[in-house]
Structure 1
């Protein structure tokens, strides 16, 4: 079988100062002097790693023995990583594939040519890391000056284009009807005995929607914590200073008029709205909606708020966290009645009566049913097989590769902000927000996979627990349910179980 010539071209971002894929191919065709070739093109992919569809196809074709020569416009089109490039060179040598860079004139058949290639790839990687550092510095530099760094406006505001320091950007402008609701929320929550549930029920009954959805507790908690709404003065300055927040603005800029942006700190691993230490606060160009006294009263009340506790220890039933309402999907809570019995109630119905609920279903009856089904499941399925080490999970490995690509694209986008016009700035800000949301979802996927991962040793423990069910404690029952069941959906007269195997 006659082997082919292959031309590989890559372009990460379509910009005026980057060479197009079509131009790269034209340069490479000159090296072939009219010989036939096959094209491999990756558009929109970084050279940081090898997770590119057409590059992977090229490597597959090389392993099949179909490729004689690989031609690229420039070395960094195929890789910017020393390790990846070294591995590719070994593959090329193994299958006797010649490698040609049309602009750098490398000959991989000689030791000197290979040495020069390795030197060049070192500088290609250095260039990539330098670009990433410059992108990061540019992002934080713009943040510190009060530039809005993308995303949809907080409830109560709309966006308006402005020019700051000669650069097109946007600032927040009060949206009167929504702003009045925000002020009402802060006024309500400032009262000592007002809870999240009181506020969510109030707006559900009035039919008020937030971003087109019903107000829920996590959304309300985020709104109350956000310093974008406060008319920041020196009390606000001192509050954040006392919590270890890095304050980019000068004290005199806290004038009691303007709101603030709170940005994720470079080295901070915690959620910026939950733990303020290490994050960055900057006075923004927009005007706040509520007084510093009212905002601080609410913020301080939030520190002692115990109504949202995702990791709160279960007490009433070992099904807690697994059992959901079949109508709305909200969690079911085990509630005690005067007789001492417990029954399951939909938390959405408890909050604002917005769900019909599941009727009067006794907790003990559901627990007994679930136990019988777990016994049957283990009897029929024996023990689950096919468990792998978590780090070897191909799904997790793929997510990490996708996260690398997201980080790479964000870096390139932020780098493009400097000097950008209004249209481009708007696009970049929106795209960065989309990518950041995707990144958070990917991280949540990894956490879920890690939580759901089950080892053979744990399966042995599950089997043992089922056989000793009446003798084991509450926590052991919780452990068993967690390893066997993903979700329980309860409706009047029916229970649906989603198994993990």
Structure 2
């Protein structure tokens, strides 16, 4: 396949007096000395990030191996962020794409150009590490004072704006109905004979939703472990000390009224709700919902509960992530029995028996069937979508036409900003924002389509994998399934396969 030269040009909305896209392209054409090229134009976009449709299309074409050289008028046309620029240069190197800035004579095909590239990467790494440390320091400084550090409120609470130490933050405030359900959950689980399944089934049968969804075991496990709910007293303080938790608040703040925040500790790489060692506990400004006696009774019971973890993953089969229950659409998990046999279980049924499930279907039988169907599919000789250019897809053609029409209208509006009065300028800004949002949506549609396209190289790898199936590894098998199959739906006696081509 002959690779093409690409010219990328960008013009910001808020800089109508800057060099036009057409002028940028004319400058870049000199570098090609009459050679052919493909244009990528983003009109009305800032260079502060890479969320630009034509830039994303350029990067997608590079990943498909279609581009040999990228030419821009100036470095800041493709990116104003050294981090984004560094990431793009790494991509260019990976796919052996030359990069040229026509006015700055920055050319990665020359030794000086490559030296400049290496300098940019060094500074990008320095900037990354500096930002990371600054963010990390700010996070721990604020968290040690009991600030709410983002995210939605735990079930049973809502967030209200407050001022602490002169800084605006948020505080947890009880939602009465939800708060009573939380207290009921802790009272139920504190009973020795009560299990996760008892509680999830109870609330499913009552029709109670948690964040708009039926209560499932991982969600319940997370709720029961959250120290935000406990009225923290000295017993709670001693419990966390015994678990190796770093406690930022003075013992006197454990007054039996306020709840706690548990933050990820520096250097602690374990789940803070599963293993408390090395993480940080802070008394918050909110009131707890559950007495320390009940909360600790549940937490100690949880220490001996190894049956369910908060983030259960199905990794016992190379079909993981693709195989779904044909009744409810929930993921199927491959469960291993004591005899070593594995069978597929509906996670929704496992959580609260809200689905009839698929019966006892052995994982090995489904894997064998899917493998045979993949071989049959490849032998049919159907060319996958990725074997033709993405732009040959009629859906893609239509989106390109819509984007081009939007860009044309944005361009006209941008040009009319010069000399416009305040009222007209305000209208133009609003209209450009509307068009920009539409263009972003179309760009996202393009990305979604391209992600489902398999390149010829990838399909060759798939065919090779199929022919050597018994000798390849687990990850290679998952790669093959991912390139061929969208989803597998399992019903008793039936395996429905939705193919990518």
TM score, norm. by length of structure 1? 0.57
Post-superposition offset of 1:202: 1.1
Over the aligned positions, Cα root-mean-square deviation in angstroms equals 5.9
Q: Per the alignment, in what secondary structure is the counterpart of residue 99 of structure 1? A: coil
Cα deviations by residue, 1:67-94 (Å, 9 ceiling, x for unpaired): 6843759x98263589679999999998
3-state DSSP class of the match of 1:130?
helix
CA distance in 2, matches of 1:163, 1:262: 21
Q: 2:74 aligns with which of 70, 82, 85?
A: 70
Task: State the shift of 1:494 in Å.
Answer: 3.3
**Is the alpha carbon distance of 1:463 and 1:257 closer, same or farther for their aligned partners in structure 2, counting shifts above 3 Å?**
same
For residues 143 and 261 of structure 1, the distance between their equivalents in structure 2, rounded to whole angstroms, comes to 8
Alpha-carbon distance between aligned partners in 1 of 2:351 and 2:68, rounded to the nearest angstrom: 62
Cα distance in structure 2, aligned partners of 1:227 and 1:221: 12
Q: Conserved in 1, the CA contact under 8 Å of 2:488 and 2:498?
A: yes
The answer to whether the aligner puts 1:99 opposite 2:96 as a matched pair is: no
Distance 2:469 2:68 in 1: 47
Counterpart Cα distance in 2 of 1:357 and 1:253: 49
Distance 1:368 1:39 in 2: 51
1:273 matched residue in structure 2: 273
Distance 1:482 1:374 in 2: 14
Contact conserved, 1:41 with 1:54, CA < 8 A, in 2?
no
Q: What is the deviation of 1:325?
A: 3.6
Name 1:397's counterpart in structure 2: none
Residue by residue over 1:159-181, the C-alpha shift from the partner in whole angstroms, topping out at 9 and shown as x without a partner, is 11111111222101111111111
Cα 1:84–1:374, aligned 2, differ >3 Å: closer, same or farther?
A: closer
User: Which residue number corresponds to residue 251 of structure 2?
Assistant: 251
Q: Distance in 1 between matches of 2:58 and 2:313?
A: 48
What does residue 460 of structure 1 align with?
468
What is the distance in 2 between the residues matched to 1:55 and 1:94?
Answer: 14
Confirm or deny: 8 A CA contact 1:383 1:459 kept in the other structure.
Answer: no
Maintained 8 Å contact 1:384/1:459: no
Q: Which residue of 1 aligns with 2:189?
A: 189
Change (3 A) 1:362 1:56: closer
- Which residue of structure 2 aligns with residue 225 of structure 1? 225
Matches within 5 A, 1:286-435: 286-308=286-308, 310=312, 325-330=325-330, 331=332, 348-349=348-349, 352-358=352-358, 363=361, 370=366, 373=369, 376-377=372-373, 380=376
Asked whether the 8 Å contact 2:335–2:345 carries over to 1, the reply is yes
Number of corresponding residues: 385
Unpaired runs of at least 5, structure 2: 1-6, 29-39, 382-450, 452-460
1:138 and 1:490 map into 2 onto residues whose CA distance is: 48
Structure 2 CA distance for partners of 1:381 and 1:355, relative to 1, 3 Å: closer
- With the length of structure 2 as denominator, give the TM-score of the two structures: 0.57
* CA positional deviation for 1:456: 6.1
Q: Is the CA contact (8 Å cut-off) linking 1:483 and 1:500 kept in structure 2?
A: no
1: distance between equivalents of 2:181 and 2:115? 67
Q: CA deviation at 1:240?
A: 2.0
With over 3 angstroms needed to count, the CA separation of the structure-2 counterparts of 1:301 and 1:42, relative to structure 1, is farther
Q: 2: CA distance between counterparts of 1:371 and 1:58?
A: 38
The CA deviation at 1:144 is 1.4
Distance verdict in 2 for CA 1:454–1:24, change over 3 Å: same
Q: Does structure 1 retain, via aligned residues, the 8 Å contact 2:264–2:280? A: yes
Q: After TM superposition, give the deviation of residue 186 of structure 1 in Å.
A: 0.4
Task: Classify the secondary structure of the residue corresponding to 1:98.
Answer: coil
Cα distance, 1:146 vs. partner?
1.0
Partner of 1:211: 211
- Report the counterpart of residue 418 of structure 2 in structure 1: none
Alpha carbons 1:8, 1:72 under 8 Å: kept: no
Q: SS at 1:295's partner residue?
A: helix
Inter-CA distance 320–135: structure 2 relative to 1 (3 Å threshold) = closer
1:79 to 67, 78, 82: 82
Instruction: Tell me which moved more, 301-310 or 370-379.
Output: 370-379
CA contact 2:245–2:276 (8 Å) conserved in 1:
yes
Structure 1 residues 463 and 288: CA distance shift in structure 2, 3 A: same
CA deviation profile, 1:239-280 (whole Å, cap 9, x unmatched): 222323222222221221111111223422222211222222
Q: Which residue of 1 aligns with 2:491?
A: 491
Q: Distance in 1 between matches of 2:18 and 2:488?
A: 61
Note closer, same or farther for the CA distance 1:344–1:353 as it changes in structure 2 (3 Å cut): same
Structure 1 residues 335 and 81: alpha-carbon distance in aligned structure 2, compared to 1, 3 A threshold: closer
User: 1:40·1:58 contact (CA, 8 Å) conserved in 2?
Assistant: no
SS state of the match for residue 237, structure 1?
helix
- In structure 2, do the counterparts of structure 1 residues 36 and 98 end up closer, same or farther at CA, with 3 Å as the change threshold? closer
Q: Which residue of 2 aligns with 1:399?
A: none
In 1, the alpha carbon distance for the partners of 2:291 and 2:176 equals 17
Is 1:488–1:497's contact at 8 Å kept on the other side of the alignment? yes
The equivalent residue for 2:202 is 202
